[in-house]
Structure 1
Amino acid sequence: MNARRVGFAVLSSCAGLFVAGVLSASVVQAASVRSSQCPVSQLSLGFDDEGGAFNGMSQSGTLLVLRNIGRTPCRVRALPRLHFEDADGRAVDAVRRAPPGMHPGPVLSSVQVMPGVALTARLHWVSGDVYDGHHCISPATAVIDLPGGTLRQSFGRHMCAPAGSARFFDQAPLRPDTAPPAP
C-alpha cells in the first residue's frame, strides 16, 4: 500500500472516530433530559476566532457559538442549516461541504443545551485566493435556520472555493463548549 493510501486510510479512520464520538455524545445528551426544541428567542448566535487559532496557510475558521440565554433546557439540531447573506440581505451562494465519506452527510440527534450554556461548532474554509478563477466571497451575515425563526450575526470573513463550486465551508456538529465561562 502506498503512503498516500495509508495516509487516507488513517485520516478516514480518524474522521470516522470523530463522527462516532460526536454521535454517541449527542445521543447521550439528547436522551439524558427530555426537552423541547429551542425557540429562537432562547438562543444567541456568536463567533469566537480564538485569537486566530484557525488561521494559517490560506486557511481560516472560527467557532460558531449558540448559547441558551433562556431559563429552561432545550434542544438544537446538531447540524443546523447555516447560510450566508450579502450586505443587502440577499442569499450568498455558499454551502457546507459534506464530511468525507458521508454523502449527503451524517444523521445526528439533536443536542441538549442547558440554561446559560453554549454549544460550539468548528467552521473551516479556504481564505486565500488559491484557486484558478478567483472564486471568493465575503458574506456580511451568517444565518442559522431554526424551528420558528432565524438567528443572524455579522460575519464579514473572506471565503474561497474552486471555480464553479458553491461548497465554501466545513461545519462540524454542535457540541457542548468546553471552555471555562467568562468572568
Structure 2
Amino acid sequence: MKTLKSLAIRLAACVVLALPMAAWAQTAPPCRADRLALNTDDGQGRFNGMSQSGMVLTVTNRGDDVCSLSARPILKFRDRDRKPLPITARAQPGMRPGPVLLPIVVKPHASVSSEIRWVSGNVYENGQCVSAAYVTLILDKGSIAAAMQGHFCGPSPGKPSYRASTFTP
C-alpha cells in the first residue's frame, strides 16, 4: 500500500512539473518568417548510401522572443527554376493518424533541427525522380526557404516522398 501511495505521489509530481512546459508551448506565439533563418546541411554524406540521402534542416529564431513551430516540419520543394515539385511527406511508421504533437518552443537566438530523409536512387520499376534545389518550410503564417541539393525518387504511380523527424534543440 505504501508503494502504491508513493507511486501516486511521484506520478502527480511529474504531471505538475510537466504542465508549465505544456502551457508555455501553448502560449508561445507562432514563429514569424521574418524572424527565422533556415539552413540545410548534407551532414557530410552521413545520410548517403543504398539509394538513400538526406539532410539536416535547421531553423534559428533570430528574434528576441520565444515562438513556436509545428513539432514536425511541413516542407515543399522546388527545382532550380523555382517550380514546385511533386514531393510528399511520408507518414511516420506506426503513426496513422498518430499522436498529437505539441508545437515546439524555440527560445530567442536558439536553433532546432530535423533530419530529412528520402530515396535518392531510382530503385522502383517505372519510378520517377526529380531534383530539388530549394526547400520551403511552411509556417502558420508564411514560409521561409533555403537552397539545397537533393535527388528524390518514388514509385509510379505515386510521387517521390521524404520523411522528417520532429524538431529537436
Query: TM-score when scaled to structure 2?
Result: 0.80
Q: 1:115 to 1:161 in 2, by over 3 A?
A: same
Q: 2:140 aligns with which of 140, 147, 166?
A: 147
Cα displacement string for residues 14-47 of structure 1 (whole angstroms, at most 9, x for unaligned residues): xxxxxxxxxxxx9875534642111111111111
* Alpha-carbon distance in 1 for matches of 2:73, 2:46: 24
Q: Secondary structure at the match of 1:41?
A: helix
Counterpart of 1:133 (choices 126, 149, 157) is 126
Q: Which residue of 1 aligns with 2:32?
A: 39
Instruction: Give the conservation status (yes or no) of the 8 Å contact 1:29–1:112.
Output: no
By how many angstroms is 1:104 displaced? 3.7
C-alpha separation in 2, matches of 1:99 and 1:50 = 22
Inter-partner Cα distance in structure 2 for 1:49 and 1:55: 9
The list of structure 1 runs, each at least 4 consecutive aligned residues, that deviate by more than 3 angstroms after superposition, is 26-34
Corresponding position of 2:156:
163
Superposition deviation, residue 86 in structure 1: 2.1
1:77 matches 2:70: yes
Superposition CA RMSD, Å: 2.1
Preserved CA contact (<8 Å) 1:27 1:109: no
Rg larger in structure? 2
**Contact 1:144–1:150 under 8 Å retained in 2:** yes
Name which of 96, 105, 111 aligns with 1:112: 105
1:63/1:114 CA distance change after superposition, 3 Å? same
In structure 1, runs of 5+ residues without a counterpart are 1-25, 177-183
Deviation digits for residues 156-179 of structure 1, max 9, x if unmatched? 211111121125111111111xxx
Separation in 2, partners of 1:136, 1:172: 22
Residue 154 of structure 1 deviates from its aligned partner by: 1.2
Aligned sequence identity (%): 35
Could you tell me how far apart the structure 2 residues matched to 1:65 and 1:29 are?
22
1:122 matched to 2:110? The reply is no
CA separation in 2, counterparts of 1:74 and 1:30? 13
Structure 2 stretches lacking a partner, 5+ long: 1-17
Residues 51-62 of structure 1 aligned to structure 2 (within 5 Å): 51-62=44-55
CA separation in 1, counterparts of 2:66 and 2:97? 30
Task: Decide whether the 8 Å contact of 1:77 with 1:110 is kept in 2.
Answer: yes
Number of aligned residues: 151
* Structure 2 Cα separation of the partners of residues 27 and 74 of structure 1: 18
